Amino acid sequence: MFQLQNVVSWGRSFQDYLEMFNLSANELELSILDCAGGPASFNAVMKQQGKTVISCDPIYQFTPQQIQQRIDETYPMIIQGLHQNFDQFVWDKVGTPEALGEARLAAMKTFLADFPQGKEQGRYRDMGFPELPFANDTFDLAVSSHLLFTYSQQFSWQFHLQSIRELCRVAKEVRIFPLVQNFTSFKSRHLDSILETLTAQGYYTNIEKTVYEFQRGGNELLKVRPPMKI
Ligand SMILES: C[S@@+](CC[C@H](N)C(=O)[O-])C[C@H]1O[C@@H](n2cnc3c(N)ncnc32)[C@H](O)[C@@H]1O
């Protein structure tokens, strides 16, 4: 069975996506790739609104029942982790770990209801970093949350660089959130040198604040654009 390197299956809502990626109403009309989309409801809600997103994640090889089982196994661990590390999170909007859990479960239920049809339609693809088998410039925008930089301990510097360059190959703009590592308030150990290397290679990088902040200090979004093609 595919090893997900201890990456949890946990999905956020459409509203979370708008806030994590500073997405404007106009930008929702773009062609969008969500890489490491997991059981988030962004793709499902966009479809309800008549828009199309392509989501990639190795978990899409599994059946809805298997994904549901993974969510059920993950749920108590996450709630316990939130209680144990309560002060590392911002509770103004969500209130309690249980309320957050309910909100995430609702989003994942929306994903699960959409997944069988969405997979048939090619909106959910079983693929992942560091190689994305799409042609150059297939998408206007690629977003990715809670994998790159978040799992800095599990994924190497090379993996990060290769994955970001690959996103920039298939999309005209890339947005990655958050920039803190392993569910702490500390900036990813890879961030500074990845930015330096991308800049030296001609990529345009920019860090923007987000209104979304659940992990303390996790309120920054990295935008990357590929070098100009002459
Ligand atoms: C914490 S979830 C984040 C889901 C969603 N982006 C969100 O923020 O709600 C991380 C996801 O990364 C996926 N993942 C693990 N390895 C991956 C890879 N090499 N390429 C793409 N996704 C991967 C996992 O399967 C998991 O669904």
Residue of minimum CA distance from atom 25 in ligand 1: 59
CA–CA separation, 80 vs 192, rounded Å?
Answer: 32
Q: Using one digit for the tens of pLDDT, what is the confidence trace for 105-158?
A: 999 999 999 999 999 999 999 999 999 999 999 999 999 999 999 999 999 999
Residue of minimum CA distance from atom 13 in ligand 1: 36
Residue of minimum CA distance from atom 8 in ligand 1: 145
List, in order, residues 6 or more apart from 229 with CB less than 8 Å away: none
Q: Judging by DSSP bridges, how do beta strands 139-145 and 204-209 pair with one another?
A: unpaired
Residue of minimum CA distance from atom 4 in ligand 1: 38
**Given pLDDT bands bounded at 50, 70 and 90, which one contains residue 9?**
confident
What is the maximum span of the chain, computed from C-alpha positions, in angstroms? Answer: 52
Distance 229 CA to ligand 1 centre (A): 30
Q: Ligand 1, residue 58: give the atom nearest the CA.
A: 25
List, in order, residues 6 or more apart from 143 with CB less than 8 Å away: 17, 21, 32, 33, 34, 35, 174, 175, 176, 177
Identify the CA nearest to 32 among candidates 60, 45, 103: 45
The architecture of the domain spanning 14-225 is: 3-Layer(aba) Sandwich (3.40)
Q: Using one digit for the tens of pLDDT, what is the confidence trace for 191-219?
A: 999 999 999 999 999 999 999 999 999 99
pLDDT given for residue 230 in this prediction: 60
Mutate to test the pocket of ligand 1, among 2, 4, 110 (most ligand atoms within 8 A of CB): 4
The string of DSSP codes covering 154-188 is: TS-HHHHHHHHHHHHHHEEEEEEE--B-TTSSSBP
Q: Is the dihedral of CA 132, 166, 38, 78 positive or negative?
A: positive
Q: Using one digit for the tens of pLDDT, what is the confidence trace for 169-188?
A: 999 999 999 999 987 889 99
Distance 181 CA to ligand 1 centre (A): 14
What is the domain partition of the chain in residue ranges? 14-225
Residue 8 has pLDDT above 90, yes or no: no
Any ligand 1 atom below 6 A from CB of 103: no
Mean pLDDT of the chain: 94
